[in-house]
Amino acid sequence: MTASTTSPTDQTTSGSRGTTPPVPEGAVAVTVKIRRFNPEVDPEPYWQSFEVPALPTDRVLNLLHYVKWYLDGTLTFRRSCAHGICGSDAMKINGVNRLACKVLMKDLFAGDGKQTTVTIEPIKGLPVHKDLLVDMEPFFEAFRAVKPYLIAYGNEPTRERLQSQADRARFDDTTKCILCACCTTSCPVYWTEGSYFGPAAIVNAHRFIFDSRDEGAEERLDILNDVDGVWRCRTTFNCTDACPRGIQVTKAIQEVKRALLFRRT
């Protein structure tokens, strides 16, 4: 798969958007080291480095775009909104799980005029399809398994299901989840045992377990009480550190444990 055998435009670049744009003033050349893998060609994943101009205001996602658009169009990664809301571009940046669209280059520059290297890997614990693109299905399967939707019995009310501000505040933190998988793929238990529900699924169970309008708490607590549930959590706090939305993930897991310990016998 070399670019040299194709159309003449590829003689100047192998990116997807033509020639390299002028380097903006104030940009610093940084090394972007990416974990590459193409299952059709490569027997093993390997590291590839690119020299990319970076402004302090650039995000890591801008650097990936630069590589894809102007250096190597085969680089594969997910991104959608690029503003930290859709949760598509979770990746391991300099060894920690982050959204590429939320990490600013000014926080990554090496001091003292040293060469800056940014390492980017796919999130760990999910099968890699290509480059930074992973199969999210095991993650979403665990999400679906905790019934992340309102369960209510009896007749439907004739107006909205009302709730006090205090009741709403009870689960406010866990409503912020964007399902980016940063937390679940930072969890050492999830790395070794993929059947563990993982922090994200527990966070989304928490969101409904502690919702006063929901009546499915017992079902969800039963699911999370089993061998793959909350008792697998070793409180390493990797999930809380990784969450780009600042959710207190480990605290949410502990609250589910506490509900299991004291609310039921």
Partner 1 sequence: MALTTEQPLTIDKPRSSGRPAARRSNFELYSWLFMRLSGLLLVVLVLGHLLIMNILDDGVHRINFGFVAGRWASPFWQLWDLAMLWLAEIHGTNGLRTVINDYARKDATRFWLKMLLYTSMVLILAVGTFVIFTFDPNIGD
Contact set with partner 1 (CB under 8 A): 141, 144-145, 147, 149, 189, 192-193, 195, 222-223, 225-229, 231-232, 257, 260-261
Residue 143 CB, nearest approach to partner 1 (Å): 10
Residue 260 CB, nearest approach to partner 1 (Å): 6
Residue 136 CB, nearest approach to partner 1 (Å): 15
In terms of CB distance, is 122 or 138 closer to partner 1? 138
In terms of CB distance, is 83 or 144 closer to partner 1? 144
Q: Is the separation of the CB atoms in 131 and 77 below 8 Å? A: yes
Residue 91 burial by CB count (10 A; 0-12/13-18/19+): exposed, middle or buried?
A: buried
Residue 230 CB, nearest approach to partner 1 (Å): 9
Residue 95 CB, nearest approach to partner 1 (Å): 22
Beta bridge partners of 98: 91
Question: CB-side exposure of 235: number of CA atoms within 13 Å?
Answer: 8
In terms of CB distance, is 5 or 265 closer to partner 1? 265
In angstroms, rounded to a whole number, what is the distance separating the alpha carbons of residues 59 and 14?
Answer: 23
In terms of CB distance, is 205 or 243 closer to partner 1? 205
Residue 183 CB, nearest approach to partner 1 (Å): 18
In terms of CB distance, is 104 or 145 closer to partner 1? 145
Q: Is the separation of the CB atoms in 129 and 135 below 8 Å? A: yes
Both structure tokens of 257 = 């444990």
Within 8 A by CB and 6+ apart from 123, the residues are 90, 91, 92, 97, 134, 181, 182, 185, 186
In terms of CB distance, is 28 or 145 closer to partner 1? 145
96 sits in which H/E element: strand 96-99
In angstroms, rounded to a whole number, what is the distance separating the alpha carbons of residues 252 and 5?
Answer: 54
Within 8 A by CB and 6+ apart from 144, the residues are none
